[in-house]
Chain A
Amino acid sequence: MNVLVCVKRVPLTGGKIVLEPDARRIETRHLGFTVSPHEECGVEEAVRIVERHGGASTVITLGPAEAEEQLREALAIGIDRGILLVSDRDDWDAETTAGVLVEAIEAEQAAGNDPDLIVFGNESADAGNYQVGIRVAHALGRPCVTGLKGLAVEEDGRLRCEQEVGSGRDVYLVPLPAVVTIKEGLNLPRYPSVPAKLRARRKPVDRREPAPPAPRLELVRLTVPADGGRAAEVLGEGPAAAAAVVDLLRRIGVA
């Protein structure tokens, strides 16, 4: 079974987001970067599926040249090979992102690497457009199940997909090839070992440079919402504050 997992490089924003002066990007000079959270589970799931059912796994990203770092992280988890679609610094909208992913997947198909399963995160941590996976599925004529918290290949070759809904789960059984979007909590991603990180350095990463098309969701500017600017009332320090806390609990009616 061939699995392709799509990831996005996003900054680790910490506690406070600061914007660049042009208000189009987050100031990231002092920030680290990571794979968007849902997709960390996507990488882990792709590795597990290949461990269980055989085949090969590939990770793909559209991002700046530095996004190779995130591909190497995925390779260290156990993905076999990476594809880096190098973009300019700007974030591409969902539709154009899906378009270049489809081109890259069609090139894979032409080279005999047709993925049976394509895995996306349900939404990216930063842009949160909730549609790249669905758009790719349509372009390839494949079914798409979103927001999965459970995923298994059944004996009859179908994919069992589980979505969390309230206090239960909705189950879908779909044929392969298919596209899924998954949510964090699907699995607990492993930490890569040092030898695995070293091996990841030698795994192949193909680079391509797609041309940026015109977006139909066109970013104008970003703003950091005013967040109350609450100045916390300090009730005290250490265990001596317990009485003041209990007073508060009674005052707001929860004790």
Chain B
Amino acid sequence: MSVLLLVEHVQGELDKLSLQALTFARGYAAGDGLEVMVTGPGAPDTAGALGAHGVGTVHVAEHDALGAYAPLAWARALAELVERLAPAAVVAAGSDRATEVLAHAAVLTGGALAANCVRAAPGDPAEVTRLRWGGSLLEEARLHGPVKLMTVAPHAVAAAAAEAAEPVVAVEPFTPALQEMDLVVQVSERVDMSTGGLSLAEAPVVVSGGRGVGSAEGFAPLEELAGLLGGVVGCSRAVTSAGWRPHTDQVGQTGTKIAPELYITCGISGATQHMAGCKGAKKLLAINADPEASIMASADYAVVGDLTEIVPAISAELRRVREG
């Protein structure tokens, strides 16, 4: 039995998380066919790249009303394919959009959905391992039901091309039978809010402060150090809850997920809520007054002591070395 994937793309360019989901799905299909659904401008252009990932058939959902994103309309199209193809599983990336589309599709098909899977073994029930607590805990579970839907946890599976590319990829357009209710929730406008500055998610260096920084004003030395390193300032949930920094600065399970070359934490204890947001950091330097703080178990480097003295001292030393 084949595996059906929802793949996201921008003008035919495959989304990174969708590539990871493809690799996951290829493992699950274990040699059986991979079928993909794509929609939107440039959708047929995905065929070549999808072939390299072992996809045999690309189903292109086409409909006049599908110009702007509408989650239930996407799910309706996907559910139509599920009925036609009866796949062993329906897989998508654990992105915001694909996750909600699969949740809708689970309802439409009478299926069960396991979100943020990292491993899965086919069968009835399927055996899945999925993330809880933003990845601080793994859950092994059995996924029952006639239709099994899974989203793949971001960055849990490395994207890899198939050993043997599909030489001929069939591109099959279809027009889903949409209902009026499918378009009640549809994007009506995209508002640009870019500040032109470096974003927290993409910064090469992030300097974050926690409750230990003590106040909104206490972040000035962190701003200075981040500026010297070409990075940005982040913070923990305790800081945004106290109103010291805006929520857009929060690193964590319910904030921004970051992946800098270096992550410097100042006065952050290392609660799972926070650590779930910085698993992608290459190196972690913890500055903390408490050598027993739980963040020390996740840090590569540590400086023990008062951050209000240490952070300005690092900035001063950086300036001295650069000027010298």
- Cα distance A169–B134 when bound, in Å? 24
Contacts known (A134-B104, A146-B100, A217-B143); A242 close to B205, Cβ less than 8 A:
no
Q: Which residues of B contact A241 (CB under 8 A)?
A: 303, 305, 310, 313
- Cα distance A245–B287 when bound, in Å? 11
Question: At the interface, yes or no: A147 with Cβ under 8 Å from chain B?
Answer: yes
Q: Which residues of A contact B293 (CB under 8 A)?
A: 15
**Contacting residue for A248 out of B114, B186, B270, B285, CB 8 A:** B285
User: How many residue-residue contacts, CB under 8 A, span A and B?
Assistant: 263
A245 contacts B262, CB within 8 Å? Answer: no
Question: At the interface, yes or no: B145 with Cβ under 8 Å from chain A?
Answer: yes
Residues of B in contact with A, size category: 35 or more
Question: At the interface, yes or no: B67 with Cβ under 8 Å from chain A?
Answer: no
B133 contacts A125, CB within 8 Å? Answer: yes
Chain A contact residues: over half helix, strand or loop, or mixed?
mixed
Contacts known (A15-B271, A234-B302, A237-B304); A255 close to B138, Cβ less than 8 A:
no
Name the segment of B28-36, B55-63, B105-113, B169-177 touching the other chain: B105-113
B301 to chain A, nearest CB (A): 5
Contacts known (A169-B191, A170-B190, A174-B185); A128 close to B309, Cβ less than 8 A:
no
**Residue in B250, B270, B273 with the greatest tally of chain A CB atoms within 10 Å:** B273
- Cα distance A240–B71 when bound, in Å? 55
Complex: chain A residue closest to B96, CB-CB: A147
- Residues of B219-263 whose CB lies within 8 A of A: 228-231, 237, 240-241, 243, 247-248, 250, 253-255, 261-262
Contacts known (A135-B103, A168-B191, A243-B317); A217 close to B112, Cβ less than 8 A:
yes
- Residues of A187-246 whose CB lies within 8 A of B: 188-189, 215-225, 227-246
- Cα distance A185–B240 when bound, in Å? 9
Q: Which residues of B contact A248 (CB under 8 A)?
A: 285, 301
- Residues of A139-163 whose CB lies within 8 A of B: 141, 143-147, 162-163
B200 to chain A, nearest CB (A): 11
- Cα distance A184–B241 when bound, in Å? 10
B70 to chain A, nearest CB (A): 9
Contact indicator per residue, chain A 39-51, by CB within 8 Å of chain B (1) or not (0) = 0000000000000
- Cα distance A168–B104 when bound, in Å? 24
- Cα distance A65–B112 when bound, in Å? 28
A230 contacts B299, CB within 8 Å? Answer: yes
**Contacting residue for A229 out of B99, B151, B297, CB 8 A:** B297
A252 contacts B96, CB within 8 Å? Answer: no
Question: At the interface, yes or no: B139 with Cβ under 8 Å from chain A?
Answer: yes
A201 to chain B, nearest CB (A): 24
Complex: chain A residue closest to B131, CB-CB: A128
Contacts known (A128-B115, A225-B137); A16 close to B229, Cβ less than 8 A:
no
A174 contacts B142, CB within 8 Å? Answer: no
A13 contacts B273, CB within 8 Å? Answer: yes
Complex: chain B residue closest to A228, CB-CB: B298
B184 contacts A175, CB within 8 Å? Answer: yes
A167 contacts B136, CB within 8 Å? Answer: no
A55 to chain B, nearest CB (A): 22
Question: At the interface, yes or no: A173 with Cβ under 8 Å from chain B?
Answer: yes
Q: Which residues of A contact B39 (CB under 8 A)?
A: none
- Cα distance A126–B192 when bound, in Å? 32
Question: At the interface, yes or no: A37 with Cβ under 8 Å from chain B?
Answer: yes
- Cα distance A134–B71 when bound, in Å? 11
Q: Which residues of B contact A175 (CB under 8 A)?
A: 184
Complex: chain A residue closest to B315, CB-CB: A242
Contact indicator per residue, chain B 263-277, by CB within 8 Å of chain A (1) or not (0) = 000000111110000
- Cα distance A13–B237 when bound, in Å? 14
Question: At the interface, yes or no: A131 with Cβ under 8 Å from chain B?
Answer: yes
Contact indicator per residue, chain A 83-117, by CB within 8 Å of chain B (1) or not (0) = 00000000001110000000000000000000000
Question: Can you name 19 A-B residue pairings with CB atoms under 8 Å?
Answer: A37-B273, A130-B100, A134-B104, A170-B191, A171-B189, A184-B250, A184-B254, A215-B144, A221-B140, A225-B138, A227-B298, A232-B302, A235-B302, A238-B304, A238-B305, A239-B305, A246-B321, A249-B229, A255-B229
Chain A residues with CB under 8 Å of chain B are 13-17, 26, 37-38, 93-95, 123, 125-131, 134-135, 138, 141, 143-147, 162-163, 165, 167-175, 183-185, 188-189, 215-225, 227-246, 248-250, 252-255
A17-B137, A218-B143, A238-B305 given; name 17 further pairs at CB < 8 Å. A13-B273, A95-B112, A128-B131, A138-B107, A147-B96, A162-B191, A165-B96, A183-B254, A185-B247, A185-B255, A218-B125, A219-B139, A221-B140, A232-B286, A232-B302, A248-B285, A254-B230
